[in-house]
Amino acid sequence: MGPQKDIRYTESAQATIERAQRKYKEKLESIIRDQKYVPGEDYVEITASDVERATNQVRFVSKRSVGYRELLLKLYMVLGIFAVVLGLFYEQIEFMRENHPEQFMLIIVGTSMIAVSMLLHWYFKRAP
């Protein structure tokens, strides 16, 4: 990293930060209120330890973690398609496995290479 530089916010940036801080505070209060709820009490007293505990429960979701979810969904879809194809051609695949094992292994290796290369291509395309 380079030398520390002074930071200046525009008015709209400052307003956006204040909105984000309000949302973060409201989320913390909601977590603490749910944890410390006592029927019949008029208010909830929040202590520093409550805030620390609630802070550990709040997570910022990065775009990268959303990308992993997309990757898992696509992988799940590919596996589903593979299962359907396997189900449709099960007898032919079983026949090939029993009578032509070399050809069967070539098909399995080729399918695996295609799947891995598609996933890696998608992963590296999404990587920053």
Contact 67, 118 (CB under 8 A): no
- Alpha-carbon distance of 69 to 62, in angstroms, equals 11
Res 10: pLDDT: 94
> pLDDT tens digits for 108-119?
899 889 888 887
Q: Which two tokens stand for residue 24?
A: 């973060």
At 8-54, the pLDDT tens digits run: 999 999 999 999 999 989 988 998 988 888 888 888 889 999 888 88
Q: What is the pLDDT of residue 65?
A: 60
The reported pLDDT for the residue numbered 35 is 87
Over pLDDT 70: what percentage of the chain?
A: 90
Mean pLDDT (whole number) for 91-103: 91
Q: Are 33 and 50 in contact (CB under 8 A)?
A: no
The enclosing H or E element of 56 equals none
pTM: 0.45
Residue 76: pLDDT band by 50, 70, 90 thresholds? confident
> Residue 1: pLDDT above 70?
no
Mean pLDDT of the chain: 84
